[in-house]
Amino acid sequence: MSKPVLQSPDPSATSLSALAPAKAAAGIFAAYDTPDFFCELMRRTDDIPPALRTVRDRLAGFDLSELRHRTSTAETQLYRLGITFTVYSDREAIDRILPFDMIPRVLTALEWDHIDRGVQQRVKALNLFLRDIYHERHVLRDGIIPASLVLGNPNYCDAMVGVRVPGDVYVHINGTDLIRDSSGRFMVLEDNARTPSGVSYVIENRHMMLRLMPDLASGMPLRSVEEYGLKLHQTLCEVAPESVTDPQVVLFSPGIYNSAYFEHVFLAREMGVPLVEGRDLIVENHRVYMRTVAGLRPVHAIYRRLNDEYLDPLAFNPDSMLGVPGLVEAYRRGNVTLANALGTGVADDKAVYAYMPRLIRYYLGEDPILDSVQTHICAEPEGLAYTLANMNKLVIKPVGESGGYGLLIGSQATQTELDEFRAKLLEDPSNYISQPVIDLSVSPTLCPSGVEARHVDLRPFALTGKNTWVLPGGLSRVALRKGSLVVNSSQGGGSKDTWVMAR
């Protein structure tokens, strides 16, 4: 046995709560209110799963000033550790931390099982879809999805047509954005099949939590998040070119000025592989090498954290200073593996998203385990008409954007904003989709005026090599502004540690 940890809350709170649940929830939650939304911790009725009840009751025993003190300690540590992302304004680049909320988001074993299976199913379908559209194109011939939507998609990559990739895996690293509606039902909001980011925060948040809230986590049956780096490295080794017995893996980053550089460093360290930039790589005879102090050394698998168009100035954007000339041809010849594959952007497109339930049924013959949000495609006349008629009830999103940029939340927009957006929509309808506003679930969050309900989402990360593995939990992002539904870090979002209970 190790020494007992710091114990400010009453250790007997768990058993007490079983006797008197109504009293136990007071404390810092005394003024907590969650009108109309599903609460991740309190639910809305008394049917709180036991695992959550323990967390809630322990939390109730903290006092606010103590929580605030720990929060400021956490933020100082994040700065010092350089766990930052960079925000670019017109004139300068500012290093910011992703605000960290001390109150964890908790998922029960049952909830996680559902998400785990659902994400695996979805990744399987995405990979089958990608293989199909770059080879036989059955799905187009069978009329499941309009050919124009796929072949005319700006993210459809002609260079991938007919190219076999190891294990037929295209999406090795996937992030699925999930939200919960007012009944607590999980729904997929979008797929991130290009270069999803945020996994480093999942792991760093856990470290922070165990350092600063040992008394909250003590004795909880938490699923570990430590394995990610190891699994990622294994995944990349599994999909390296088959002729190589001891593959050299690298992480390819745009460099220190990229907003996600911290994460690139984190993952390279967790995998124990070099972090390379374009200038560190060279292609000779369609093989990729890195420049080392001992000369050129071969590279077999590249976890690339830059978008397709910057990878190779010979194949795509000739102005890219970040890329490696000849990389795409080396890849097409099977001498090196890129993760994710080229051209996966067509699968996580917001318009293709609308067809995912049909694609899952088509490829797997199964019903989707995770629901999708009803989506109207403005490229289609009915979709456009519906969207125009219901603007004030819908969320309207440009299909090509990420990071929460350029979207309109109808219910929160002024008449002028609605009018302006209508004009943009009519100008280029195929650039937009619309969805009903989902009442995102909330989670108790430490705010300036006390513990209040704030909206959250969840991004689980899935790795696919020979098999698919989903990191237990994922990134819980929280919209720190009261009432806000936008959780993106670039738009004032923060994050929470996500606890998956083993039982």
Partner 1 sequence: MTQTGTRFPAMLANLNTLLSRYGESMMWLARYMERIENLARILEVTEAFVRNADGSPGWDSILQINSDEERYATLYALPATEENILAFYITESTNPTSIRAMAHMARENARSARPLISTEMWMQLNIFTQSMMELSTPDIRRNGLSGLCNRIKQDCQTHFGVTEGTLYRDQAWLFYLLGKYLERSDQITRLIDIRYHTLLPGGEISGSQMDLTQWGAVLRSAAAYHAFRRLQPVTITPANVVGFLLKNEGFPRSLMLNLRQVESTLNALSTHYNLRHQCGPLQERIINLRATLEDQTVEEIISRGLHEYMTYIQDELGALQAEVSVTFWPIAPVMTRQTTFSPQ
Binding interface with partner 1 (CB under 8 A): 79-82, 233-234, 237-238, 240, 244-249, 256, 261, 265, 268-269, 272-277, 279-280, 290-294, 297
The β-bridge relationship of strands 301-304 and 337-339 is: parallel
Which tokens is 469 given? 């593995």
Q: How far is the CB of 187 from partner 1 (least distance, A)?
A: 37
Q: How far is the CB of 291 from partner 1 (least distance, A)?
A: 5
Q: How far is the CB of 337 from partner 1 (least distance, A)?
A: 12
Pick between residue 119 and residue 236 the one whose CB is nearest to partner 1: 236
Pick between residue 68 and residue 466 the one whose CB is nearest to partner 1: 466
The Cα 279–Cα 282 span in angstroms is 7
Rg of the chain taking only CA atoms, in angstroms? 23
Pick between residue 244 and residue 388 the one whose CB is nearest to partner 1: 244
Which tokens is 21 given? 């649940």
The Cα 260–Cα 254 span in angstroms is 9
What separation in angstroms does the CA of 170 have from each of 35, 79, 348? Answer: 42, 36, 12
Q: How far is the CB of 117 from partner 1 (least distance, A)?
A: 25
Length of the chain: 503
Q: How far is the CB of 148 from partner 1 (least distance, A)?
A: 41
Pick between residue 248 and residue 498 the one whose CB is nearest to partner 1: 248
DSSP bridge pairs for 436: 394
Q: How far is the CB of 264 from partner 1 (least distance, A)?
A: 8
Pick between residue 234 and residue 491 the one whose CB is nearest to partner 1: 234
What separation in angstroms does the CA of 259 have from each of 83, 208, 339? Answer: 11, 21, 20
Q: How far is the CB of 13 from partner 1 (least distance, A)?
A: 35
Burial 402-420 (b: 16+ CB within 10 A, else e): bebeebbbbeebeeeeeee
Pick between residue 132 and residue 238 the one whose CB is nearest to partner 1: 238
Dihedral angle at the C-alpha atoms of 279, 284, 289, 290, nearest 10 degrees?
Answer: -30
Pick between residue 81 and residue 389 the one whose CB is nearest to partner 1: 81
Pick between residue 249 and residue 446 the one whose CB is nearest to partner 1: 249
Q: How far is the CB of 236 from partner 1 (least distance, A)?
A: 9
For 350-392, list the strands marked E by DSSP: 371-372, 376-377
Pick between residue 21 and residue 167 the one whose CB is nearest to partner 1: 167
Q: How far is the CB of 3 from partner 1 (least distance, A)?
A: 24
The Cα 181–Cα 167 span in angstroms is 36
DSSP H or E stretch at residue 205: helix 199-212
Q: Return the closest-CA partner of residue 336 out of 308, 303, 294.
A: 303
SS3 category, 302: strand
